[in-house]
Structure 1
Amino acid sequence: MATVEEPEPGPRRLLAAAISRGPALALVEGRAGTGKTRLVRALLDQTGPAQRRRVIVSFPSAGPPVVRVEAAGADPAVKPAGRPQPTAKRPPDPYAELAALLETPEPALLVAEDVHRADEAAQALLRRLLAHPPARLAAVLTYRPEELAGPGLALGSRVDYPSDIDVIRIRLEPLSPEQVRHWACAALGERRCPLEFTARLYERTGGVAQVVADLLRLLDDGGQRDRYTARDVDSAPVPVRLSELTLGRLGALPEPHRRIVEAAAVLEEPAGEQELAEVAGLSAEDGHRSLLTALAAAALDECPGATYGFRVPLAARAAYELLPGPTRRELHRRAAASLARHRPVSWVRLAHHQHSCGELTGWLDSVDAAAKEAAAAGRHQVAISLLEEALADPSVPPATRARLAPALAHSASVGLRSDQTVEVLHRVVDDPDLPADVRGEIRLDLALILGNQLGRSAQGRAELERAAEELRDRPALAARAMSALAMPYWPGGTLAENLRWLGRAEDIAAGSSDPVVRAAVAANRVTVLLSVGDPQGWRLADQLPGDSDDPACLQHAARGLCNAADAAMWLGEYGRSADLLEKGLDLAVRSGQSFAEQTGLSARLLLDWATGRWTGLSARAGEFVAEAGEMPWVAADAQLVQGMLALTRGEWGGVTAWLSGAGLPAPEEGAVPLVAAATGARIRLALARQDLDLATAEAARAWEHLRDKGVWVWAAEPAPWAVEAMVGAGRTMEALDMVEEFAAGLKGRRAPAAEASLTWCRAILAEAAQEPDRAVEHFRQARRAFAALPRPYEAALTGEAAGRCALAAGGGADPDAADELKAVESELEQLGAVWDVARARATLRAHRVEERRPPGRPAYGEQLSPREEEVAELAGAGLTNREIAGTLHLSPRTVEQHVARALRKLGLQSRLDLGARRG
């Protein structure tokens, strides 16, 4: 595990500046675990003993102080790196070294740690020293303010500081949520630390540095799990250091006063004085006295809003786990009674305490009320957590189970993934005593969770078909199931089958008075029509309600707008896609449609990729994958973006990692357009590696999947690479058939990206037929079409192909073609497409088109030549010599020589070092 970083630079700089002068005193104040020791250690590492004598005093919790002395000019080389190694000793008089500071004129640094533990003699000596400091003394005192014998007085009473000593106080505060996230990502890996995990880590630790560090060590599994969750934080044990600190302070309290701390531990959240006394079973007077005693002993903390509790919530659990069972239940019973009197009622908290004290009926009623309240407010994750716990309890009666399960299913279908939810819902729908229509209602949402959130499309589709049958007596819900089956994104079924399901759903919705059903079907109809390039979809998208009083209608409208934005993106309607995304995301946030919000955010990543907004895109996509990694359909867009970016940089290993194996969903499970695009990238990778067998196999599979579905607008991404693979393998007639099938599938459709792609395919066929003029014309036509979308990367690629063909046809003497290739090189360089830039430059060199330079061979000395730089860049990306040779039109032997020279000039040992240089 990575080491927890040192304290923030601000306190370090402030402390270093203070002690650089003399006389000076820095009082470093911080509650237990906030990083005082690390701050002092960083100071000592930074300053070293070369300039002044150093006396370091530590006051332990038991025994005499430990004094360490370093003479001025000590050789730091004899100490371990980053850590001073002073001589440690326990003199007969532990304060002799302190007293000696009063006598010496030499510059000295005094560090006294944990002076809240100092006895009266030590405090008196320190006060005397600071009241009459040597001229060049710098002193640092650290302490816990909550444990001072005299509140606010580090040394027990005031010090008569002379006027010429600089005195500053540095207060160390808990870490911010951003700092906690940074620590967690450094320790466990960014992809394994989604925001919900680091947010819970901050919440449970209160941002206290030592607690964060200890908990991260407990959670570190050496990389075994893919990602951490909030539940991992909740289930982790209380760190020993925190537990012993908490229990030590609790044990130091007189017996009668411990009850107020135990009440706070049961309540978990900070509470007012009256509530604490009620839960503890104390009178107002006794509760007041106990609270003051607990605060004075730092067993409880004062919190915002005149409340009291534990600033580190994990500390409450340490105290709670020490309570005997009967005591816990009695405290929970009093807490439930107290909360029931509050208005408005906090149903979530009340349910927790009722469950903990065994009040089954009251607990279930509170769960029902809390879940309804949370769902109405769009806080579906809260509702899911409550309902999961209730439905997982075998003591819940069947009638109550049938009442609560549909609510769980609905919240889960619009919220985010939970494997536990799926397990609970599977058990519920398998209950033979459940009424068929209730089973169908639950199965409908279970199917959507399986398909949308877990990426198990085949299973989800099968459950949808079963739900449609079970809901035959509830036509409104049956229409929802049928409209879901109409979505062509599902890999199973043909477009004709999707349209039949849509027709059945529309017939039911037309005769229904339920606005939610009509909204659900309308949202799906928009997505279906836009997915296939039907212009009617745009009119229907404008009609989706954005101002309904019914939250469920708004959720369906949000889903429809975000799905429509995604469909528009695949069509190449990028401006319209951006407008739909803006409306859909706003509505998703307002209506609590968490899943729609995530799909909209993922579509935005694809939109940024397509339109060339690549700055910071890889980092944004990586963060999104970390957040949505357990939901394949949601994470898949970001993974596709990462894979395609890796391809443009020539990072072959990254392409494979993102677009194959554990990356994207398998073709039989993933969204059809996304799988098609990923296949196109893999075909291109195989072509770059000159693996025609793999390229043509991928091309054939991609075409078969597109043919099975029948939505040809989605062939836009893989088609040019599939055609190029077939042509390269000598299967030109198959390539011609593919292009004709593609063209036929676009008739009557409005799909700008597919139309530009079709022109690109025709250019490839013309080049293969040795018709360079026609090929150049088609390539340039495709370039103009892509630029108009805008699709700058594909515009550059087709421009590169046009220039290459024109140069080849003209024997390298076409100045317009050379200018075109130079412009393309600049466009690719601006995008950051390193691999493509190298290829474009190689084409120019192959036709002897180079920038003017003085006669003679330039002498680069120990600097890399442009060609060596290109080779080193591609070698560092992981390309083999053969792959680099194919890209740059060189021989493998020449590439080998360039790599060897680059390594020698850069002083590197291996190609791996070249990769590190790229980073």
Structure 2
Amino acid sequence: MEHAALQCAADGEHQAAIDILERALSRPTVPPAARARLAPLLAHSAVLGLRSDQTVTVLRQILDEQSLPAAVRGQIRLDLGLLLCNQAVAGMQGWLELQKAVEELEERPLMAARAMAALAMPLLSTVPLERNLYWLERAEKAGADSGDEEARTAVAANRAGTLMYIGDPAAWQVLEQLPRDTEDAACRQHVARGLCNAADGALWLGQLGPARGLLAEGVALATRSGASYVEQGARGTSLLLDWAEGDWAELTGRARAFVAEADTMPGQGVDGRTVLGLMAISRGEWQQATAWLAGDGSRQTEGSAVPHVATASGALIRMALVRDDVETAVAEASTAWDRIRDKGVWVWAAELAPWAVDAMLRAGRRDTAQGMIAEYEAGLDGRQAPASSAALDWCRALLAEADGDPRTGADLYRRAALEYAGIPRPYATVLATEGAARCQLASGTDAAAVVAELTSCVEQLTELGAVWDAARLRAELRAHQPADEQRPRGRPSYGDRLSPREQEVADLAATGLTNREIAATLHLSPRTVEQHVSRARRKLESQSRQNLSRTRAQRPE
């Protein structure tokens, strides 16, 4: 059995090795010496593999045994800490195990350096960035002092990831120096991890092109070295990249499949859940959006990565504002902002800041909003983060608009839109362009040109599949459409076909929106919406609102 497990691990079949070793080590009759040999192999295979639940239990039971030598205990605890931080999404538990491992690995500087490097990764909200950087400095010294290639590579890989995550320009130089051509399998695994972590970091910064390149390199190395966990994580990053770049065709299906595959590892599924939540908002599927972003433990902030938590908060604030629930929006904004402040990584506020500032302005808390903008700007000093630069201009535009200065607001929204377009982030580009158009209409600037621009925005949103956003803008367009383009007097007869307005209401009703929410979106009364829904159900012979989908509706000629 031991030989079979060793062979599986050597062949990169870590899941098979895990299955063999879990069965063996769960037996109380296994001698202590054999357990001391097999447990580190199980722990290391688990870090590279995909399952985690049973392995965590087995490793904890082994660590409770007093007969283990300190160095072996530290080796097992190192991998347990990594497992808890990554696959098991028990970040703070993993952090504490890693700190204990450093103490127990005093006689094994290579592994001690690896533990320190893991403590340097900044994604946990409960650990301030200063502590991560403290451990990074210690890891670099330990790696250099060890004289070991694997130790130096492990530390360099985590240094690259850490610097990229926080938007430090030095990350690129560290990445260039990673030994991509190494023949050492362990070093390849470290380089693969470093490249994929850097790709994830670049994604959140808004460096989408470089992120794609880093991801491709990392996946290739992970495949060669049998690092299944790294490969799976890269798939999640790819989903987020597709969402950001507007490649939404079949994205929902792929994200659902990804979440289903990661059922036993909630940490792996967070990328898919985030994508599904954001997609649902654009379609007006708010119940589904809330479930993906805040349900089933998705908001366990202690173990979840800060960028995901901040993104979810931004989305929840937006939904609260749409429902005119300003109190809830402000509460979420305050909590999320405090979390970013405590962490000290402001580049991760890109998906949060505009909605948080908007919430404060809607609540009449202008000074708070202005202070948040100033704090955000200061936190971005010296960082390379195009997404945050665009978000900062969006925040400034919101403040100018609230201050009754629509011309300045339009200029700032326009600048944000150009920045998003350069990333490229088409959905965010449209939302910023919408803000510019709103300000231009308020300032009385060339309404015809603005209407043409909003029409283009509707087309882009429709192409993306953002049903709810497209409906919102169509309602705005009708309010500002030139008189000679408005519908002539008299109601056209559609017979048993849906009118354009009935179709629009039916599409939104099918997403799960209430009549009141549809009314707010389309600037109609709830009573009018109720009548449209009733007529649509009668014409389509539909027994439920959910069946009022575009695919089942007859399109007007």
Give the alignment's TM-score, normalised by structure 2. Answer: 0.96
Give the C-alpha shift of residue 873 in structure 1: 1.1
Report the counterpart of residue 586 of structure 1 in structure 2.
220
CA distance in 1, matches of 2:146, 2:467: 57
CA contact (8 A) 1:491 1:672 kept: yes
CA contact (8 A) 2:282 2:467 kept: yes
Tell me the amino acid that sits aligned with residue 528 of structure 1.
T
Report the counterpart of residue 827 of structure 1 in structure 2.
460
Matched, 1:808 2:442: yes
Match of 1:621 among 240, 255, 279: 255
Give the C-alpha shift of residue 814 in structure 1: 1.5
Match of 1:780 among 388, 409, 414: 414
Report the counterpart of residue 57 of structure 2 in structure 1.
423
* Residues 653 and 917 of structure 1: CA distance in aligned 2, closer, same or farther (over 3 Å): farther
- Cα shift readout 1:176-217 (whole Å, capped 9, x = no counterpart): xxxxxxxxxxxxxxxxxxxxxxxxxxxxxxxxxxxxxxxxxx
CA distance in 1, matches of 2:299, 2:184: 35
CA contact (8 A) 2:420 2:429 kept: yes
Give the C-alpha shift of residue 851 in structure 1: 8.4
Matched, 1:550 2:184: yes
- Cα shift readout 1:45-95 (whole Å, capped 9, x = no counterpart): xxxxxxxxxxxxxxxxxxxxxxxxxxxxxxxxxxxxxxxxxxxxxxxxxxx
CA distance in 2, matches of 1:497, 1:418: 27
Matched, 1:897 2:535: no
Mapping 1:597-612, distance limit 5 Å: 597-612=231-246
CA distance in 2, matches of 1:643, 1:863: 33
Report the counterpart of residue 577 of structure 1 in structure 2.
211
Give the C-alpha shift of residue 914 in structure 1: 2.2
Tell me the amino acid that sits aligned with residue 583 of structure 1.
E
Matched, 1:684 2:318: yes
Report the counterpart of residue 130 of structure 2 in structure 1.
496
Report the counterpart of residue 281 of structure 2 in structure 1.
647
Report the counterpart of residue 740 of structure 1 in structure 2.
374
Give the C-alpha shift of residue 707 in structure 1: 0.4
* Residues 709 and 663 of structure 1: CA distance in aligned 2, closer, same or farther (over 3 Å): same
Report the counterpart of residue 518 of structure 1 in structure 2.
152
Match of 2:398 among 755, 764, 782: 764
CA distance in 1, matches of 2:331, 2:251: 31
CA contact (8 A) 1:632 1:665 kept: no
Give the C-alpha shift of residue 617 in structure 1: 0.4
Give the C-alpha shift of residue 797 in structure 1: 0.6
Report the counterpart of residue 451 of structure 2 in structure 1.
818
Matched, 1:730 2:372: no
* Residues 883 and 850 of structure 1: CA distance in aligned 2, closer, same or farther (over 3 Å): farther
Give the C-alpha shift of residue 805 in structure 1: 1.8
Give the C-alpha shift of residue 435 in structure 1: 0.9
CA distance in 2, matches of 1:593, 1:787: 35
Mapping 1:322-721, distance limit 5 Å: 367-662=1-296, 664-721=298-355
Mapping 1:102-117, distance limit 5 Å: none
CA distance in 1, matches of 2:424, 2:460: 13
CA distance in 1, matches of 2:216, 2:483: 46
Tell me the amino acid that sits aligned with residue 610 of structure 1.
A
Give the C-alpha shift of residue 419 in structure 1: 1.6
Give the C-alpha shift of residue 721 in structure 1: 0.7
- Cα shift readout 1:828-850 (whole Å, capped 9, x = no counterpart): 11111000000011111122358
Secondary structure of the corresponding residue to residue 453 of structure 1: coil
- Cα shift readout 1:638-689 (whole Å, capped 9, x = no counterpart): 1100111111111111101101120524112200111111111111111122
CA distance in 2, matches of 1:371, 1:855: 78
CA contact (8 A) 1:571 1:752 kept: yes
CA distance in 2, matches of 1:698, 1:577: 30
Secondary structure of the corresponding residue to residue 335 of structure 2: helix
Give the C-alpha shift of residue 691 in structure 1: 1.1
Report the counterpart of residue 856 of structure 1 in structure 2.
489
CA contact (8 A) 1:457 1:491 kept: no
Give the C-alpha shift of residue 382 in structure 1: 1.4
Give the C-alpha shift of residue 735 in structure 1: 1.0
CA distance in 1, matches of 2:86, 2:122: 13
Tell me the amino acid that sits aligned with residue 167 of structure 2.
G
* Residues 470 and 892 of structure 1: CA distance in aligned 2, closer, same or farther (over 3 Å): same
* Residues 557 and 665 of structure 1: CA distance in aligned 2, closer, same or farther (over 3 Å): farther
- Cα shift readout 1:404-442 (whole Å, capped 9, x = no counterpart): 111111111111123221111001111111111111110
CA distance in 1, matches of 2:270, 2:484: 43
- Cα shift readout 1:290-328 (whole Å, capped 9, x = no counterpart): xxxxxxxxxxxxxxxxxxxxxxxxxxxxxxxxxxxxxxx
CA distance in 2, matches of 1:849, 1:725: 32
Tell me the amino acid that sits aligned with residue 151 of structure 2.
V
- Cα shift readout 1:711-744 (whole Å, capped 9, x = no counterpart): 0000001111111111111111111111111000
Report the counterpart of residue 480 of structure 2 in structure 1.
847
Give the C-alpha shift of residue 852 in structure 1: 3.2
* Residues 851 and 719 of structure 1: CA distance in aligned 2, closer, same or farther (over 3 Å): farther
CA contact (8 A) 2:326 2:363 kept: yes
CA contact (8 A) 1:776 1:802 kept: yes
| Unaligned stretches of 5+ residues in structure 1 | 1-366
Higher helix fraction (1 or 2) = 2
- Cα shift readout 1:210-247 (whole Å, capped 9, x = no counterpart): xxxxxxxxxxxxxxxxxxxxxxxxxxxxxxxxxxxxxx
CA contact (8 A) 1:846 1:889 kept: no
Give the C-alpha shift of residue 912 in structure 1: 3.6
Tell me the amino acid that sits aligned with residue 639 of structure 1.
R
Q: How many residue pairs end up in the alignment? A: 552
CA contact (8 A) 2:123 2:306 kept: yes
* Residues 453 and 744 of structure 1: CA distance in aligned 2, closer, same or farther (over 3 Å): same
- Cα shift readout 1:318-363 (whole Å, capped 9, x = no counterpart): xxxxxxxxxxxxxxxxxxxxxxxxxxxxxxxxxxxxxxxxxxxxxx
- Cα shift readout 1:105-154 (whole Å, capped 9, x = no counterpart): xxxxxxxxxxxxxxxxxxxxxxxxxxxxxxxxxxxxxxxxxxxxxxxxxx
Report the counterpart of residue 302 of structure 1 in structure 2.
none
Secondary structure of the corresponding residue to residue 740 of structure 1: helix
Give the C-alpha shift of residue 893 in structure 1: 2.0
Tell me the amino acid that sits aligned with residue 115 of structure 2.
A
CA distance in 2, matches of 1:401, 1:903: 66
CA contact (8 A) 1:383 1:408 kept: yes
CA distance in 2, matches of 1:742, 1:418: 37
Tell me the amino acid that sits aligned with residue 332 of structure 2.
E
CA contact (8 A) 1:471 1:478 kept: yes
* Residues 381 and 394 of structure 1: CA distance in aligned 2, closer, same or farther (over 3 Å): same
CA distance in 2, matches of 1:862, 1:803: 37
Give the C-alpha shift of residue 854 in structure 1: 6.9
Bigger relative CO (Cα 8 Å, ≥ 6 apart): 2
Match of 1:794 among 412, 416, 428: 428
Between the two proteins, what is the percent identity of the paired residues?
A: 55
CA distance in 2, matches of 1:623, 1:386: 27
CA distance in 1, matches of 2:365, 2:520: 21
